[in-house]
Structure 1
């Protein structure tokens, strides 16, 4: 009983300190101070006003009232200015762009509101990062499962069908061999497509040979499947990267090249992974039509992956001037991640 009795006054005190009540009393105090100060100034000044206002006294009253209103407006504007900044931040805030917070510049009772909003953003970003990490981990697991099934089941079945067709072609009459060979080529091309899909779903070369070899293989696959030429530049010495960071770099490069193949109509593509001052930079550029206006699920997924490793993803796509996808990974943050 004593604990519940102690909590009641605390709950009542919290209700009495709500932002709306605090703002009300702040405005009330400001107005009271301004009008009191104005009254004292008029009372103690040599200016006097008769019971019937004379024409000469009108300027005195007008000047006094103007000063009171102006002082009140300036004080109220300064006190309520953080609300405009808070509304602007609410309109532009994006949980994938971390670190966008409202600075507390000693605004009195509004400090509680600003601090609560910043704490809410911290909590939402943390929860979104955790949920995105779980979702992407589940996605990668599902990709690996599908890749194994494609390789082990469908791939093996197509291989058996291909060998069976080869035996049939050897025994078939001459007039049927051309049709059987055509069917054999269809099965062989289907087997190649299944293997390519499995490699895209599960980058085994990334696990076996590392990031540099994986990007090289990705570039080779792109050049074989598309008419656009591609130039690759990867620094021979890269900082130590965790498996998560390597996978994010690979997936963003893969998605960028997929977008180029589908939408850009480019003649040349550039893929680079270089070390610069303070960061590791992945760039995928093309000379296509550009003009990316709406971000689809692919780009949104790229941003979520970049956010998970504390990297910054920017996409510049002016109409008619190609697209430049840039991923900047802070090296210091990555070193602390790998320790």
Structure 2
């Protein structure tokens, strides 16, 4: 950059000196009033030429500044064209390389975080099922034995306690199942989505219309888990925020992609990027999928996840 600016200024002064030397114009000492316009015009031409050349040389800095302001993880935003960098090409190339490196590190960190999250969910699910679930089962059996020997006056109270323990046991099993969808690893994505829609309809009281293709292509385990988690989070958002009366869950396949769609007839409105939506976006990005959250054609909200699938 230093040598570029030095060369520009040196060239302009050399050209100005050559023009003055070859022209019939002379400068008296002291300078005459009639010679001042010639000097001012020459100075103005040099300044204009310097400004134009410097503006062209430093233009990539403006683009680089704008790109820095727009850059945001994940992705880092659009990359600058290296061909437009001129003498700043190496700086532009370094900036693009920095964005690529930051995006790669962000993806790696997000993948590790999500993997740790899934591992923690499995651990908690096992503890709920194996420890708390078994403890509640033992308590339920103990109450049953007590009820058999208890006087008639205490049996209604014992029956109420049994119902409470039985309800807690069902809640624990449901939470454990949500944390670790065993049906996904045992029976595959289609069965897992079907079971998810059925359980959601039962727990929320909403009518759920589900359509899952019978011939979904085989997907890697991590991709199936992302599709399942996005469907789970989208349905959870419907129950919490949509105030809907019905929901739709569809998963269809076309050559080259699998599309998951979760829609509702709720109030719709702004979609604030909370932890759930950010988690869905992170998961989608890690498998190269496209996630969109938009207003549905008939109102409500539509979540659409498009997963690319390699042919064969």
The aligned residue for residue 178 of structure 1 is: 156
> Equivalent residues in 2 for 1:1-339 (5 A)?
23-41=1-19, 44=22, 51-54=31-34, 58=37, 64-97=42-75, 100-276=78-254, 278-292=256-270, 294-316=272-294, 321-332=299-310
Change in 2 beyond 3 A, CA 1:257/1:38: farther
Tell me if the contact between 1:97 and 1:307 (Cα under 8 Å) persists in the aligned partners: no
Q: Give the TM-score taking structure 2 as reference length.
A: 0.87
Q: Which moved more, 1:222-231 or 1:66-75?
A: 66-75
Shift of 1:74: 2.7
Partner Cα separation in structure 1 for residue 268 and residue 112 of structure 2: 33
The aligned residue for residue 14 of structure 1 is: none
Over the residues paired in the alignment, what is the CA RMSD in angstroms? Answer: 2.8
Partner Cα separation in structure 1 for residue 22 and residue 245 of structure 2: 83
Shift of 1:309: 1.3
Q: Which runs of 5+ in 2 are unaligned?
A: none
**What is the aligned length?**
309
Shift of 1:67: 4.1
Change in 2 beyond 3 A, CA 1:70/1:272: farther
Tell me if the contact between 2:223 and 2:287 (Cα under 8 Å) persists in the aligned partners: yes
Shift of 1:275: 2.7
Residues 157-179 of structure 1, C-alpha deviations (whole Å, 9 max, x = no match): 21122222233333333322222
Shift of 1:231: 1.9
Shift of 1:134: 2.1
Q: Give the TM-score taking structure 1 as reference length.
A: 0.80
Tell me if the contact between 2:75 and 2:103 (Cα under 8 Å) persists in the aligned partners: no
Tell me if the contact between 1:271 and 1:284 (Cα under 8 Å) persists in the aligned partners: yes
SS at match of 1:254: helix
SS at match of 1:31: helix
